[in-house]
Amino acid sequence: MATSKKLLLINGLWSPTSIINEFLSKSETDSNIYLTFPLGIMTIAGWCRQEFPDYNMQVIDLMMELHKYFSDSNRQKIDLDSFILNILKRISSVPDYIGVSMGSSNGHKPNLRLILLCKKLWPDSKIIVGGMHATTFTHRLIGNPNIDYIPEFCT
């Protein structure tokens, strides 16, 4: 019997790096974390469950993770890379495929950081990006050596 493929789907960060750093610095901030239902990544997850029932799938919502971190009164100051790596290290096995939703151009820089860290952790994993930013700025992402695929509907 063949081993099942492993799929990691990540709802990326939707805020600029400067605002995310405010949340991670343990300082007071006037900024808000705007949570939305991650409909894009959840739709993809539902379709994958239907089409690839043998795949081992995990889903991460980084905006929810940021909200949980910021809401913790015992939180420690942390940098963006450490925040992302702490979450990625929870993944139980090396993913074959990593899907990243770049839902907002505001968050493109932290999401590119996320993609770089995924590639460093799991160099053989194939990284697929989608979402509004990938659709609008495909020409800026297509040459990124850490991105393996941008679906055709994004071009």
Residue 34 included in any domain: yes
pLDDT of residue 33: 63
Q: What is the mean pLDDT of residues 112-139?
A: 92
Q: Is the pLDDT at 155 greater than 50, yes or no? A: no
pLDDT of residue 108: 85
Closest to 96 measured CA to CA, from 8, 2, 1, 3: 8
- Indicate the number of domains in the chain: 1
Query: Between 106 and 128, whose confidence is greater?
Result: 128
Residue 125 included in any domain: yes
Q: Looking at residue 133, which CATH number applies to its domain?
A: 3.40.50.280
Q: What is the mean pLDDT of residues 39-58?
A: 92
Residue 1 included in any domain: no
DSSP 116-152: HHHHHH-TTSEEEEESHHHHHTHHHHTT-TT--B--G
Are the CB atoms for 81 and 113 separated by under 8 Å? yes
Q: What is the mean pLDDT of residues 5-26?
A: 85
Compute the mean pLDDT over every residue in the chain, rounded to the nearest whole number.
87
Query: Between 26 and 106, whose confidence is greater?
Result: 106
Cα dihedral 2→117→47→53 (10° resolution):
20
Residue 120 included in any domain: yes
pLDDT per position as a tens digit, 90-101: 998 999 999 999
Residue 42 included in any domain: yes
- Percent of the chain whose predicted confidence (pLDDT) is above 70: 90
Range of the domain at 146: 6-154
pLDDT confidence tier of residue 104, bands split at 50, 70 and 90: confident
Q: Is the pLDDT at 39 greater than 90, yes or no? A: no
